[in-house]
Structures are given as C-alpha cells and as structure tokens.
C-alpha cells in the first residue's frame, strides 16, 4: 500500500510539475522591446547621401501652418481627445510601435517574405505555373519570395525608407515645428511617446508608413488590406501617443508615398521582369556549359522544375554597376566537373552527410532558411534588428543601417546568381546521387554558395556598423556557410569562394557607409 | 505500451509506431488487461510503416521527391504489476526513417520514453458479462536531442507530454469490447532555428504544441491464449494549422488521423510465459499526415519477479 502511494505520488507530482512549469504562452524576442530612445536625434540627417533622390527636397513639402493658428489648435484638441479615450488595446498598440517603426516594418516585411516563400505546386501535366503580378491572387500567388526575390524586396523597402527619412529630416530641420508634447502641457502630461527635441513635421512614422506601404503593395500585391491595416495602426499609435498631429501625419504619409514612386519606377526597369526566362534560354544555359566541357546543372526535383530566377544576375545593383558584377566581382570558375579536385570535394560531401551528429544538424537547421522562411537575407535582418534594438539609434539611422545591409544583400544575390548561372555547376547530389541531404536541395546551380555570400556580405557591413560585434558576425557567417556543406548541398569551394566574394561586396557597402555623411 | 504517445510524438506523418503498438500484445496501455501483482512482462516489437500519399490540410497528394516514406521502429516495452489493479508500463522506441526517392536524408535515433500508470478501480458483473473501468495517467519525454524540425524525416516531435485516459471494457464470455478516450497535454518544443512561420511569423525558437485527443475502439475474441481483435482509432489535434500547398510539414500542424487495423496475441500453451504479438492496419483518413499502412510483430516474456512463477501471469479484468 505504501509502495503504491509513493510511486503514484512521485508520478502525479511529476505530471503536475511538467504542466505548471511550462506555460504555453510564447512571446517573440522583440515583442517587449523598449521604446526607441535615440542617443542622438541626428538633426543633420537631411544632408546624408541619398540613394535615388537627387535632392532631399525633390518632393516639395508645404510650409506647415503656425502653431498659433486655430487650425493647429484644433489638431491639438484631436490629440487630447485621443489621449483621453485610449483603450487597453490601443495602449498596447502604442507600446508595440514605440520600439521603432523601422524595426516593426522590417519585421512585417520578414513575415510577408516567409508567408510567400513557397515554390508553386505543379499542374496535372507536370508543368509548374509561374506566379505573375498581373494575376497576383490566382494560384500560385505572386510573388514566390525566394531568396533573390526577397533580397531585392528587402533592399527596395529599406533604401526607399532611408531616402524618405532623409527627406523628412531635411524638412523637420527646415520647418522646425515642435512635437505636440512640446507645444501643449496637457498633451505633454498625457504623452506616451518618448519625448525628444526632434521636430514633428513631417511625422517620421507617417513617412515610413507611406513609403513602406507603397513599396509593399508593389512587392506583395495580395497583401494590400493587411498593409493598410498596419498603416492605420501606426497612425493611431503615433497620434495617440502625442508624437504628432494630423497635419504632421498627412504631410509625412504623402511624402513617403511620393518617394516610393521613384523606387517603384526603378524596380519596374531593373531587369527583374526578365529574370524568369524561357525554356529556350534555360536550354541554352546547359548547352553553353556542355560546350565548355563541363557537366551542366540539372534540377534534382521531380517533376523537373525550371531553375529559380536564372537571369536574376542581370538585375541592376544598388552599390555598383552591372559591369562590375561581371568584370570585378564574379569569381573565376569552380573546379572542373571532370577534375580530381571535384571528385575529392564530392567525396568530402558524401563523407560528411553519412552520420550527422545532432550538433551538426542543429547548425544546418539554424541556417537552413529554406521554404516558408524569411530567407538568408531575412535572417541577417533579424540578427541586425535584434542588435540595433540595443543601440539607441534614431529612426533615420535605423533606416540607414538597414538600407546599407539590404542593398548589399540584394547586390550579393545579383553577383551570386550571375555566378551560378554563368558556370551552371551541378550540385553534389547530381554528381553523386548517393549523397542524401539534411536540408532541401535548392533548385539552382551550386557554385557559389548563396548562404556564404549573403552571410559574408552581411557580416562585413554589420561589423562596420557595430564593430564590437564584428567577430561574432564573422563567426556566424562561417557557421552559416559551413552549414551548407554539412547539409550535403555544397562543395567546400562553393563556400570558400562565396565567403570571399561576400566580403568584397560588403566592402562596397562599408565604403558607402564611410562616405554617406552619417559617420 | 506507448501506443499513443507515440502517435503524436512520432510524426503523425510517420504514423508508424503509433499504430504498431496500439494493439494488444502483452498488456499495453491501450488494452483492458492487467498484470498480476509482482509480475513483469517485457518484450520487443518491430514495426514498419510506410506512406506514399499524404494530406496538405485536406488536399491529398503524393510527392515524387519523397516516393514512399518509411519508418522502422524497434520498441522495448515492459509492464509491471505493482498490485493486481495497479500496473506501471514503459516503452522506449528506436526509430529510423527513409524516403525512397528524392534527395532527403533519413534520420534515426532513440525517441521518447513513455511511462503509464494503469489503475483498475471498478470491475463488476453487468448483465451476463463483466464491466471494467480503467484510469490511466502517462508521461512521455524525449530521451535524445533529435530534431523535430526536419519533417517528414524527423523521428518525432520532441515534446514532453502528459496524458490522462479512461478505458471501459465489457467482456461477455470470450468476446469483448473496449473503448478509451485520452487527452494529451503537450509542452512547447524548441527548434534549432531562431524564427518560424505558421500563420504568422514567430520571432522565437519555441513552438506552442496544440493538445491532442485520442479515441480507440477495439473488439474481438479474448481467451487465455489468444486475442484477436479489430481496432479503430482516431487522433484529433486541438488547434494547430494546416500545411499550405507545397509547404513543408511542421511540428505544430493540425495532425488528425483515423486508422483501422487488426491485432492478435498468442500465448504458448506449454510455455505460458512467452507470447507473440502482431498487428497491421491502414490510415482511412487524415489531415497533415501521411496515409500510412503499418505492420508490427513482437515477442514478450512474463515472469514473477519474486521467483514464485505460478501459472496465471495475467489476470484479465480482476
């Protein structure tokens, strides 16, 4: 009897401990990020070097009305009314956005990328349908935000945000209209916003809402309703927090949308629309490779899937020109497919995947960033964002740093894809079908490793932005790169050359950072 | 034993061992049989399951990049009679997965240890037969650091679970009907990656695992030496989300499955310590799981741990 009870007691108390000790409630790491409190408001950011804007005042922003006029007094009353009637949910919304609008829009971008990062399912005849922006809602929905598409999307949004905020800062300094919490003592007393000396016309949150929403509509056309809802939430959060009045908001949102139009125009003519190619073009890649005496890449998927965006390598980069891609950054050839070296490297991949340790599998998983994820550039945005949270940047500096990172990542994608489809080099599993992989085999050529080039590029520019983290970023890049060898989908030379090329691309971003006026 | 922990802890996808062990070998957590006090019954079961078709949400498809996904399981199990109406059971499976086509690497390893307490508080005559009521409580916990994040090749979902079950059994001569319902609470799991998408982006490595309800019905012939039964079971995940078209499966998917199968146990007449078990079945319907067919075979040996090995190693319903 005693025996029975003691065993039962241990057993049931064990159950209770398991259930009680682990609440199922999960919060994201940045959900409770502190309110953005800039160490420096960067009042001079209106003079920073822009990406596409020729001048910070290319788009005219009207002179705001004086704060003594009745119209403005009415706007202050609107804020007071909002402050008096904030619900718990609205306060939560204010808290969420207070961590920084660049941060939150970046997280929303990553969510959209992950959501749309699905390769189309084949038709009954085995042909894969291709998503088109013209028919975005039909299956397969546009876009398939694979790594090159995602790299470009992150870059356009970040660069447009940066230019828009530089313009905003120009007008903030020029018109110098104080924030409502500076103007009115009642708003000041009730303000939930972090109070700074930064002028509020135009509202930086509004500029970000306008420019980001407009870019996202181009990049993720099925998400317009979702994006509009985020714009409204941000507007209510900003005005309800006492940070801006309606005219600050309206001017900012309009300015943001105007600046987005510049980037959208570039996006329509940057060669992305030709990145898919045709069957004849795909065939010619194989023919050209055979002509050089090399085994051409073939898709390892069934039904055979056309390669992922094979002509993305011709997209117009941000940090250098297309000739630099081909003449300077594209590396020399991989080991010949018939060489002893290639045989050795293929054998190395085979040996590595035989009996994977759980440590190796963990590394492969951490960096896989495959289907349904934010992609490798998105992963580096995540790493950057969670470090930027601790840096007390102004919004414009947040945007500048993300623009540097993401323009570099897009350009890395361009150089990588240009290289992959120039050499059209087979995956290890094609040369030796006995190689089974511990992550999905990407549907494009092997040389050079995308993860390696993305990671080295990101580590280089991020190491410049936060020097005390440089070693950590480089170690992460090494691990990310090697994870592809551990996973059985890349040869060692894909990785080593990819890391070298990534560092070179990162150097262009560092050069821009040194000369953009922000340091 | 283990039956159903496995069920969800082994990717439904890989329904394999779940079903395998679901039936009546020696005493299991799913049957209506108790070991007598001081008796221990231990054994090993080999199981094989395989599927070609699977469901992404409600969309049924095959995948030429997987071919047939098979799972082999070797389970070590045991059941000890603390009292005639209180047993403790354990199960520890070793699992190996393989895809017949495509490039994905199979995985293998020791999966989850499950433990059950099985209590028989009520057993009384009703009509011409005997009605028994069982209460069970179980836990299962991963015993190796296998990944739950490489489905369908992962060997399990790596969650720590606790479960409660009520089993009713009615025996009329040699014929019986058994039904049970189980609620399983599943703890959150941790992935090796830093973010993941379900129906939204989660900036964490932790995944909320929806709870699970299982129903199990079995009926057939039961005597001292032979049990032959038909089994229908259902698992329903309370929450979770559907695999989208052409997306990868994920640990917190809404995995539902209904299977039908048969099982038998034969105890040697001249060596009543030794019993052979086997069963087989098929998935009738599912959601976010593979449509597996499974079969298993095992051997069990029972003895009195005090050494006084009399006859009756088991006491049905007492």
Please state the three-class secondary structure of chain B as a single string: CCHHHHHHHCCHHHCHHHHHCCCCCCCCCCCCCEECCCEEEEEEEEEEEEECCEEECCEEECCCCCCCEEEEEEEEEEEEEEECCEEEEEEEEEEEEEECCCCECCCEEECEEEEEEEEEEEEEEECCEEEEEEEEEEEEEECCCCCCCCCCCCCCCCCCEEEEEEEEEEEECCEEEEEEEEEEEECCEECCCCCEECCCEECCCEECCCEEEEEEEEEEEECCCEEEEEEEEEEEEECCECCCCCCCCCCCECCEEEEEEEEEEEECCCCCCEEEEEEEEEEEEEECCECCEEEEEEEEEEEECCCCCCCCCEECCC
CB proximity list for A250: less than 8 A, separation 6 or greater: A206
pLDDT of residue B71 exceeding 90: yes
Span of A83-97, A439-453, B28-42, B200-214 with lowest mean pLDDT = B28-42
What is the Cβ-side half-sphere exposure of residue B161, based on CA atoms within 13 angstroms?
33
**Residue B164: beta bridge partners?**
B137, B183
Question: What is the rounded distance in angstroms from the CA atom of residue B80 to the CA atom of residue B37?
Answer: 8
Least Cα distance to B311 among B251, B252, B269 occurs for B269
User: What is the share, in percent, of chain B residues with pLDDT greater than 70?
Assistant: 88
Given a contact cutoff of 8 angstroms between Cβ atoms, the answer to whether A334 and A343 are in contact is: no
Work out the end-to-end distance of chain A between its first and last CA atoms, rounded to an integer number of angstroms: 77
Tell me the two tokens of residue A443. Answer: 């549907």
Q: Which residue has the tokens 């990020």?
A: A33
pLDDT of residue B11 exceeding 50: no
CB proximity list for B235: less than 8 A, separation 6 or greater: B4, B7, B8, B12, B212, B213, B214, B255, B256, B257, B258
Helices (H) and strands (E) in chain A, counts: 20, 0
Given a contact cutoff of 8 angstroms between Cβ atoms, the answer to whether A477 and A498 are in contact is: no
Least Cα distance to A168 among A67, A42, A72 occurs for A42
Q: State the Cα torsion A282-A288-A293-A298 to the nearest 10°.
A: 0
Q: What is the pLDDT of residue B30?
A: 84
The per-residue pLDDT for range A280-330, each reduced to its tens digit, is 999 999 999 999 999 999 999 999 999 999 999 999 999 999 999 999 999
Confidence grade of residue B10 (pLDDT, cut at 50, 70, 90): very low
Q: What is the pLDDT of residue A379?
A: 98
The DSSP letter of residue A116 is: T
Contacts of A439 in chain B (CB under 8 A): 150
Q: What is the pLDDT of residue B224?
A: 85
Q: Which residue has the tokens 């900012």?
A: A252
> Is A368 near chain B, with CB under 8 Å?
yes
CA Rg, chain B, in Å? Answer: 19
Least Cα distance to A220 among A122, A149, A163, A310 occurs for A149
Q: What is the pLDDT of residue A291?
A: 97
Helix (H, G, I), strand (E, B) or coil at A437: strand
Q: How far is B266 from chain A (nearest CA, A)?
A: 31
Q: Which of A24, A438, A439 sits opposite B188 (nearest CB)?
A: A24
Residue A105: how many other CB atoms lie within 10 Å: 28
Q: What is the pLDDT of residue A25?
A: 85
The DSSP letter of residue A99 is: T
Farthest CA pair distance, chain A: 88
Mutation for A interface: B159, B194, B201, most A CBs within 10 A: B201
CB proximity list for A394: less than 8 A, separation 6 or greater: A38, A40, A41, A42, A45, A198
Helix (H, G, I), strand (E, B) or coil at A208: helix
Farthest CA pair distance, chain B: 62
Contacts of A26 in chain B (CB under 8 A): 188, 202, 204, 206-208
Q: What is the pLDDT of residue B32?
A: 85
Question: What is the rounded distance in angstroms from the CA atom of residue B171 to the CA atom of residue B132?
Answer: 8
Q: How far is B92 from chain A (nearest CA, A)?
A: 18
Contacts of A365 in chain B (CB under 8 A): 147, 149-150, 191-193
Higher pLDDT, B29 or A165: A165
Question: What is the rounded distance in angstroms from the CA atom of residue B254 to the CA atom of residue B240?
Answer: 4
Least Cα distance to B81 among B125, B131, B117, B43 occurs for B117
**Residue B237: beta bridge partners?**
B212
> Is A198 near chain B, with CB under 8 Å?
no
Averaged pLDDT of chain B: 89
Count of A-B CB contacts under 8 Å: 136
Given a contact cutoff of 8 angstroms between Cβ atoms, the answer to whether B87 and B308 are in contact is: no
Q: What is the pLDDT of residue B28?
A: 76
Least Cα distance to B259 among B2, B3, B73 occurs for B3
The helix or strand, by DSSP H or E, that contains position A112, with its residue range, turns out to be helix A101-115
What ipTM was reported for this prediction? Answer: 0.95
Mutation for A interface: B103, B135, B192, most A CBs within 10 A: B103
Q: Do A436 and B145 touch (CB under 8 A)?
A: no
Q: Do A437 and B64 touch (CB under 8 A)?
A: no
**Residue B119: beta bridge partners?**
B86, B135
Mutation for B interface: A299, A426, A438, A441, most B CBs within 10 A: A438
What is the Cβ-side half-sphere exposure of residue A49, based on CA atoms within 13 angstroms?
13
Return the exposure string of B288-299: e unless at least 16 CB atoms fall within 10 Å of the residue's CB, then b: bbbbbbbbbbbb
Question: What is the rounded distance in angstroms from the CA atom of residue A242 to the CA atom of residue B104?
Answer: 55
Question: What is the rounded distance in angstroms from the CA atom of residue B107 to the CA atom of residue A350?
Answer: 16
Q: Do A301 and B65 touch (CB under 8 A)?
A: yes
pLDDT of residue B262 exceeding 80: yes
**Residue B51: beta bridge partners?**
B69
What is the mean pLDDT of the segment spanning B286-314?
Answer: 85
DSSP A247-287: HHHHHHHHHHHHHHHHHHHHHHTSSGGGSS--HHHHHHHHH
Question: What is the rounded distance in angstroms from the CA atom of residue B45 to the CA atom of residue B24?
Answer: 12
> Is B160 near chain A, with CB under 8 Å?
yes
Confidence grade of residue B307 (pLDDT, cut at 50, 70, 90): confident
Contacts of B247 in chain A (CB under 8 A): 118, 371-372
Q: Which residue has the tokens 């011709």?
A: A314
Question: What is the rounded distance in angstroms from the CA atom of residue A442 to the CA atom of residue A425?
Answer: 13
Would you say how long chain A is, in residues?
519
Q: What is the pLDDT of residue A11?
A: 61
Using alpha carbons, list the distances in angstroms from residue A298 to A286, A290, A350. 8, 12, 19
Q: What is the pLDDT of residue B3?
A: 39
Q: Which of B103, B104, B197 sits opposite A114 (nearest CB)?
A: B197
Least Cα distance to A440 among B128, B61, B270, B153 occurs for B153
Q: Which residue has the tokens 């919304």?
A: A93
The DSSP letter of residue A336 is: P
Task: Find the residue in A nearest to B82 (Cα).
Answer: A4
Work out the end-to-end distance of chain B between its first and last CA atoms, rounded to an integer number of angstroms: 19
> Is B175 near chain A, with CB under 8 Å?
no
What is the mean pLDDT of the segment spanning B169-189?
Answer: 97
Using alpha carbons, list the distances in angstroms from residue A411 to A398, A459, A474. 20, 14, 19
Tell me the two tokens of residue A106. Answer: 């970046």
> Is B100 near chain A, with CB under 8 Å?
no
Tell me the two tokens of residue A397. Answer: 């500096």
What is the mean pLDDT of the segment spanning B270-274?
Answer: 92
Q: What is the pLDDT of residue B27?
A: 61
Least Cα distance to B158 among B113, B117, B123 occurs for B113
| Tens-digit pLDDT string for chain A (519 aa) | 445 555 556 666 666 666 655 568 899 999 999 999 999 999 999 999 999 999 999 999 999 999 999 999 999 999 999 999 999 999 999 999 999 999 999 999 999 999 999 999 999 999 999 999 999 999 999 999 999 999 999 999 999 999 999 999 999 999 999 999 999 999 999 999 999 999 999 999 999 999 999 999 999 999 999 999 999 999 999 999 999 999 999 999 999 999 999 999 999 999 999 999 999 999 999 999 999 999 999 999 999 999 999 999 999 999 999 999 999 999 999 999 999 999 999 999 999 999 999 999 999 999 999 999 999 999 999 999 999 999 999 999 999 999 999 999 999 999 999 999 999 999 999 999 999 999 999 999 999 999 999 999 999 999 999 999 999 999 999 999 999 999 999 999 999 999 999 999 999 999 999 999 999
Residues 316-355 of A with CB under 8 A from B: 353
Helix (H, G, I), strand (E, B) or coil at A363: helix
């Amino acid at each position: 009897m005693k025996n029975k009870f003691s065993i039962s007691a241990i057993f049931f108390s064990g159950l209770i401990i398991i259930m009680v000790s682990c609440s199922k409630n999960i919060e994201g790491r940045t959900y409770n990020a502190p309110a953005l409190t800039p160490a420096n408001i960067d009042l001079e950011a209106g003079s920073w070097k822009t990406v596409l804007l020729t001048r910070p005042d290319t788009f005219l922003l009207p002179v705001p009305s004086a704060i003594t006029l009745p119209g403005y007094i009415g706007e202050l009353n609107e804020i007071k009314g909002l402050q008096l009637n904030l619900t718990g949910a609205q306060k939560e919304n204010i808290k969420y956005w207070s961590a920084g609008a660049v941060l939150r829009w970046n997280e929303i971008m990553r969510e959209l990328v992950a959501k749309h990062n699905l390769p189309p399912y084949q038709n009954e005849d085995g042909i894969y349908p291709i998503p088109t922006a013209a028919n975005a809602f039909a299956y397969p929905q546009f876009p398939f935000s694979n790594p090159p598409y995602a790299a470009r999307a992150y870059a356009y949004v970040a660069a447009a945000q940066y230019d828009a905020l530089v313009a905003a800062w120009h007008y903030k300094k020029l018109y110098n209209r104080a924030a409502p919490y500076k103007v009115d003592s009642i708003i000041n007393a009730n303000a939930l916003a972090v109070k700074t000396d930064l002028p509020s016309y135009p509202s930086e949150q509004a500029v970000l809402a306008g420019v980001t929403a407009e870019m996202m509509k181009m990049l993720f056309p099925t998400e317009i309703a979702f994006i509009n809802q985020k714009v409204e939430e941000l507007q209510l959060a900003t005005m309800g927090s006492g940070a801006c009045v309606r005219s600050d908001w309206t001017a900012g949102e309009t300015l943001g949308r105007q600046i987005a139009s510049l980037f959208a125009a570039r996006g329509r003519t940057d060669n992305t629309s030709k990145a898919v190619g045709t069957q004849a073009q795909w065939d010619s890649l194989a023919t050209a490779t055979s002509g050089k005496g090399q085994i051409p890449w073939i898709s390892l998927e069934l039904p055979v899937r056309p390669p992922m965006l094979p002509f993305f390598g011709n997209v117009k980069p941000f940090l250098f020109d297309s000739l630099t891609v081909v003449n300077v950054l594209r590396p020399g050839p991989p080991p010949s497919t018939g060489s002893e070296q290639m045989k050795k490297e293929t054998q190395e991949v085979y040996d590595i995947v035989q009996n994977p340790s759980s440590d190796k599998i963990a590394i492969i998983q951490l960096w896989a960033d495959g289907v349904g994820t934010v992609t490798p550039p998105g992963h580096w945005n995540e790493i950057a964002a969670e470090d930027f949270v601790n840096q007390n940047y102004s919004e414009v500096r947040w945007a500048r740093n993300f623009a540097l990172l993401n323009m570099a990542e897009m350009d890395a994608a361009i150089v990588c894809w240009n290289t992959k489809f120039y050499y059209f080099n087979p995956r290890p599993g094609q040369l030796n079908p006995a190689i089974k992989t511990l992550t999905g085999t990407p549907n494009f050529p092997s040389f050079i490793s995308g993860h390696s080039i993305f990671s080295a590029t990101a580590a280089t520019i991020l190491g410049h932005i936060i020097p005390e983290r440089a070693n950590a970023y480089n170690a992460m890049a090494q691990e990310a790169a090697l994870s592809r060898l551990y996973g059985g989908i890349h040869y060692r030379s894909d990785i080593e050359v990819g890391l070298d090329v990534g560092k070179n691309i990162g150097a262009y971003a560092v050069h821009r950072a040194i000369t953009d006026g922000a340091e | 034993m283990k039956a159903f922990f496995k069920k969800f802890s082994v990717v439904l996808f890989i329904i394999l061992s779940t079903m395998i062990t679901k039936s009546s070998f020696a005493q299991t957590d799913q049957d209506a049989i108790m070991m007598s006090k001081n008796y221990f019954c231990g054994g090993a079961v080999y199981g094989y399951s395989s599927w070609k078709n699977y469901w992404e949400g409600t969309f049924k498809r095959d995948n030429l990049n997987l071919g047939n996904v098979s799972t082999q399981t070797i389970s070590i199990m045991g059941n000890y009679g603390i009292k005639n109406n209180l047993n403790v059971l354990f199960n520890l499976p070793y699992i190996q997965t393989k895809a017949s086509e495509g490039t994905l690497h199979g995985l293998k390893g020791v999966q989850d240890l499950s433990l059950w307490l099985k209590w028989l508080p009520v057993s009384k005559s009703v009509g011409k037969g005997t009605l028994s009521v069982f209460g069970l409580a179980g836990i299962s916990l991963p015993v190796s650091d296998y990944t739950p994040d490489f489905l369908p090749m992962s060997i399990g979902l790596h969650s720590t679970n606790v479960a409660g079950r009520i089993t009713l059994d009615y025996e009329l001569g040699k014929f019986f009907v058994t039904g049970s319902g189980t609620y399983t609470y599943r703890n959150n799991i941790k992935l090796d990656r830093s973010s993941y998408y379900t129906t939204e982006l989660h900036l964490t490595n932790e995944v909320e695992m929806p709870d699970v309800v299982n129903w199990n019905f079995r009926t057939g012939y039961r005597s001292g030496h032979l049990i032959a039964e038909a089994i229908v079971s259902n698992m329903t995940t309370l929450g979770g989300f559907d695999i989208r078209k052409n997306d990868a499966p994920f640990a917190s998917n809404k995995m539902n499955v209904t299977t039908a199968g048969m099982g038998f146990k034969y105890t040697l007449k001249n060596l009543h310590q030794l019993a052979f078990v086997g069963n087989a079945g098929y998935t009738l319907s599912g959601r976010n799981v593979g449509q597996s067919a499974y079969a298993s075979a095992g051997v069990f040996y029972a003895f009195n741990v005090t050494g006084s090995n009399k006859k009756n190693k088991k006491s049905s319903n007492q």
